[in-house]
Structure 1
Amino acid sequence: MFIGNMDFSQIFHSLKITDMSKKEEYLYQESKNDSINYSHYPYELEKRLYQAIITGNIDEIENVGYEYSNYPPSVLCQNNSIRSLKNNLICSCALITRMAIETGLEENYAYFLSDLYINKIESLCDEESLLNLNAIMILDFMTQIKNSLSSNKNNYSPLTIKVIKYINDNLCTNFTLTDVADYVNANSSYLSRTFKKEVGISFTKYIHMNRIKKAKHLLLFTNLSLVEISARLGYTTQSHFSKIFKQISGMTPNTFKQDHIKID
């Protein structure tokens, strides 16, 4: 929500706000007599979904999903069922994004995924595709959360934690080991050895793996060209990006896109 530079005191005491409050009270009273049109899912289901996602319990996610299906979705746009469904899915995306951040998924990456899914939701025009995308979104976030929880169990030193944060915050820019070493005030050779010992892969490979992880989402959920994706992820040329992508994934970007699920 954009707040901006607002005089809340003046706005709150304005006639428009007073009228709005009265109207909201009226609508709320009316909604009590219309439980179908103004229904919302029980909060208990939301808590169960949260637990299922952070534990990676697919069976429970399916059970909760089945229970969700027994409730009529909230009407978030009168007389437009597709717009209403999109609004519901965007709300779900916002909820699961915050779940992910709370469980330790890196904030920038969580919002990166959220933006991709919301834009994809907006691009679809039929119920089946939207519901399929919702299932993919939940499973995707669940996988990212599971991987994040696994990584967080490692007892990284304060130095390595600082390095990882720097990489995550600057993933799409060009930086070197020396840049990071200067930032954390450490010897570059020592930093490189420590990072590989604790993380299990080299400093450079860690950067490429995380860039390619983002690239896969961009390939599947946007119409960006390879040139645009490579530039967005900090690669100077498309050929270099494609070479790294194949090294990490075992296939070219185009092959990956052709072989994986695409929501049309």
Structure 2
Amino acid sequence: MSNNLSRTNRCKLIKDVSECIWNEIISFHTAGVNAAEIYYTKKLLSEILNHSNNLNYSIWAVEPGNEKKWGSDIDIYIERRTNDFELYAFQAKLLKLGNMYDGLNRNSLGTYQWQKLRDYQIHKGCHVNYLFYNGVRNFRYNGTNRCSNFYSEKELGLSYVDIDTVERITLSKNTWEFSDFHTVYSHPLSEIVCCMGEYNPKVKIYTYQDIVETLNNYQKVEFETDIESLISKASEKNDEKIEEKESKRKADLVFIIRNTSSSY
């Protein structure tokens, strides 16, 4: 099978969602307004849900809990070959006014978020990265992804950076800018669905049944009303500002992205 999946519908969908987020963040920042991270989680959910009716995508969400903010821990299972899935685990962060990120050095009970991701990597045998929601006015870029396809800056609306780089840069500075990570260390999120990827013996292969068995406490997101309900509950919990007591990671959102030809 070719390493290049750029002509698939699932590739186009993530590119379109990335461009939508890129343009919208620029629009907010031009108006001098920050949107909340949970808003862009909603945007990601809504755009994928509304454009994936004919694709083999499914979305699962955990009920918002009292001890954690909802929507920033994201798992994406990508089907590489029929019923062979790889897991990508992300900690999401939103670009704020001034092209700055905040909260990268967030520490709960002496544990940084990247440490939770490393523990999760060992436990799940998965890829671990930070996912950035971006949009930068007057920024222009043309690059190539890992399967040598060209992409523009708009695909960096959803970008990812490995946790080792995020840790190193975060601990070396007191403030963190878009340019600290992009484009030397970043990749467009579209890359993980537009390119097959290479075999990595450290990455576990999951079957669809394996995945479903981990989703007992999750709700399948099928309608816009499901998103509205979850976001409303999560906003209420965030407003309570309850301190995190749980140091272990559990994804708030799980995306399962299957091959368009898959029967699973």
In the superposition, the TM-score normalised over structure 2's length comes to 0.24
Q: Which has the higher helix share?
A: 1
| Greater gyration radius | 1
Q: Quick one: higher RCO (CA 8 Å, sep 6+), 1 or 2? A: 2
Q: Which has the higher strand share?
A: 2
In the superposition, the TM-score normalised over structure 1's length comes to 0.24
